[in-house]
Amino acid sequence: MLAHLVCAISLLVAYVLQTTIVSQTPLVNGTADLILLFFAAWALNERVQNSWLWAFIGGLMISMLSAMPFYVPLIGYLGVVGIAKLLRRRVWQAPILAMFIVTLLSTLFQQFIYVVALQVNGAPIAWGQALDAVIFPSVLLNLIFALPMFALVNDLVGRIYPLEVEA
């Protein structure tokens, strides 16, 4: 129950920070995505059990608030959790490295989905311009924010699920 509560509050905080601060401080035209980073760090943690559920809820919430086509943020965030779950088993000895790899792959995946969805909906977006102006700067910003977000979420998870000490 506590994990659900913490996840909901963290998502709300991340959303508010995203729309009020992070989205207003772009690098070229790209911005960091705190919600993506939160889901990546949350899903990478082995003790967390509810990452799929909250990726679904968060994706729906962002879909309703964003101007993107309805299904796109949902697919994007579910993809983030999927990538994180996939890599968690493979790079389990170096969680920070896993966080960087998940951030890189999931940002590329999400932005790819966004561009395709916008193109399907008639927006005249060229791939070259999208890569130069938005995708690469966004990847860079997400990689910069990945480490503090990972540390924050790890600390949060450590408080919610304390390690069991063997007698």
Partner 1 sequence: MKFLNGKNVQTIVIVLAVAGLLFLALSGYLTPVFNLTLNPLVSFESWMSIRYLSARDFLTAPRDVTQLREQNAILESQVTQLQTQLIQMEEQLGEADICFALLDFGRTNPQYEYVTATVIGREISPFLQYIIIDKGSDDGVQYGMPVVTQQGLVGTVDAVIAAASRVKLITDSTSVVNVLLQTADVEAQSYGSLTGDVSLDMIPLDSLVEPGDVVLTSGLGGNYPPNIFVGQVLSAQKRDNALFQTASVQPIVDFESINAVLVIMNFEAVDISPLVPE
Interface residue list for partner 1 (CB under 8 A):
15, 18-20, 23-24, 26, 29-31, 33, 35, 62, 65-68, 73, 111, 114-115, 118, 121-126, 129-130, 133-134, 138
**Closest CB 9 distance from partner 1, rounded Å:** 18
Cα–Cα distance for residue pair 107/166, rounded to 1 Å? 39
Given the complex with partner 1, which of 49 and 129 has the nearer CB atom?
A: 129
**Measured at the alpha carbon of residue 26, what is the angle toward residues 23 and 30, in degrees to the nearest 5?**
95
- Minimum gap (Å) between residue 26 Cβ and partner 1: 6
Report how far apart the first and last C-alpha atoms of the chain are (Å, whole number). Answer: 27
Q: Which is closer to partner 1, CB of 45 or CB of 138?
A: 138
Length of the chain: 167
Nearer to partner 1, 68 or 152 (CB): 68
Q: Please tell me the distance from the alpha carbon of residue 5 to that of residue 2, in angstroms, as a whole number.
A: 5
